[in-house]
Amino acid sequence: MKNKNGIGYDILAVAIVAIWGMTFISTSVLLRYFEPAQIFFIRFVIAYAGIWIFAHDRLFSGSWKDEIRMLAAGIVGGSLYFLAENTGLKISQQASSISFIVCTTPLVTAVVAVLLKHKGAKMTLPLAVGSIVALLGIGMIMFNGSAIQGAPVLGYILAMVASLTWAFYTIIVSDLTDKYGTAFISRKVFFYGLITILPVLLFQHSDFAWSAFKLPIVWINVLFLSVIASLGCYALWTPVIKKLGTIKSSNYIYLNPVFTLIGSVALLGEKITWLSALGSAVTLVGVWIAGRESK
């Protein structure tokens, strides 16, 4: 029974990661009709409404300091992260490349934690070597996209910004999980993410293309992002972590860009060059090396 249950949770973990990998595809489709900030706003409004099913027993944190931390988490893990990621997708128009760069988040988180002297964080040989290898892979991806395929470098830089902001989000939330439940933290992040994206929406002066919702491809992708990828996978990922453990479940996230690559080729018609494939592989190897425990 233990083996069967373990295999079942492994399969579930891969399925969730596959869905998260396909979010880059859905976002790329929606960028044909909406601005990056608008996609985030629509997605999080629906997700915020749904999160009340899991967390509606309290409104505020236990202290104003924790509430400020929730605000910071909503910015770096919500509005700023998705604004950078979605804008990077719009500029580069290469979902697979952006996904591979964003997948360095575990590595970036470890480096930031060391620099900030966060509890338990330390520089190890695997982390140092993995960082160098991953940066080499990212360099290949950026060179292929900008020099060979003519994509603006800014798109890749924004993907790196997204990875950095999520690293800060992870560190902030790690200090809150001992005090609050995951559902409550997620609801606060959704809320403050929505609040802090409003200035961007007002500054852009871009009207929502509500008529686009008449198209099945639009509302199907919106529901996929908000209901399945956000609410559904969130609810399922928690028991996966409890069953498989943090380290093993996190390792599955490295498969995220692989599913994005398959989806981008099959659904978006992206062309993968040998250099981008090599850079993607090197990036994954670097992240994998950095994630290994130092002996």
Residue 133 has pLDDT above 90, yes or no: no
Q: For the chain, how long is the longest CA-to-CA vector? A: 58
Percent of the chain with pLDDT over 70: 89
Q: How far apart are the first and last CA of the chain?
A: 32
**Which pLDDT score is estimated for 208?**
83
Mean predicted confidence (pLDDT) in 141-163: 82
Cβ 27 vs Cβ 89: under 8 Å: yes
Whether 275 shows a pLDDT value over 80: the answer reads yes
pLDDT in the model for residue 245:
65
CB neighbours (10 Å) of residue 287?
A: 26
Say what the pLDDT of residue 295 is. Answer: 41
Tokens read off for 44? 């999080």
Q: What is the structure's pLDDT at 244?
A: 74
Q: Which of 54-63, 64-73, 239-248 has the highest mean pLDDT?
A: 64-73
Q: Of 6, 67, 36, 1, which Cα lies nearest the Cα of 244? A: 6
Q: pLDDT tens across 21-67, in order?
A: 899 999 999 999 999 999 999 989 998 998 887 777 888 888 999 99
User: Looking at residues 195-224, what average pLDDT do you find?
Assistant: 90
* Residue range 250-266: mean pLDDT, rounded: 81
Look up the pTM and report it: 0.84
Q: Cβ(77)–Cβ(166) under 8 Å?
A: yes
Residue 161 clears pLDDT 50, i.e. is over it: yes
Q: Buried (b) or exposed (e) across 211-244, using 16+ Cβ within 10 A?
A: eeeeeeebeebbebbbeebbbebbeebeebbebb
Q: What is the pLDDT of residue 294?
A: 44
- Return d(Cα 225, Cα 202) in angstroms, integer: 23
pLDDT grade for 137, boundaries at 50, 70 and 90:
confident
Are the beta carbons of 89 and 270 closer than 8 angstroms?
A: no
Q: Sketch the domain layout of the chain as residue ranges.
A: 2-291
Task: Work out the mean pLDDT of the chain and round it to a whole number.
Answer: 84
Q: Give yes or no for a contact between 172 and 76, defined as CB atoms under 8 angstroms apart.
A: yes
217 HSE (CA, 13 A, CB side): 12
79-93, 105-119, 142-156, 264-278 — which one is most confidently predicted on average? 79-93
Q: In 3D, which of 133, 118, 85, 115 has the Cα closest to residue 291?
A: 133
The DSSP code sequence of 264-287 is: HHHHS-PPPPHHHHHHHHHHHHHH
pLDDT band at 72 (very low <50, low <70, confident <90, very high): very high
CA proximity to 95, closest of 279, 284, 260: 260
What are the distances in angstroms from CA 127 to CA 21, 101, 278?
Answer: 24, 17, 21
What pLDDT sits at residue 287?
76
Higher confidence at residue 96 or residue 197? 197
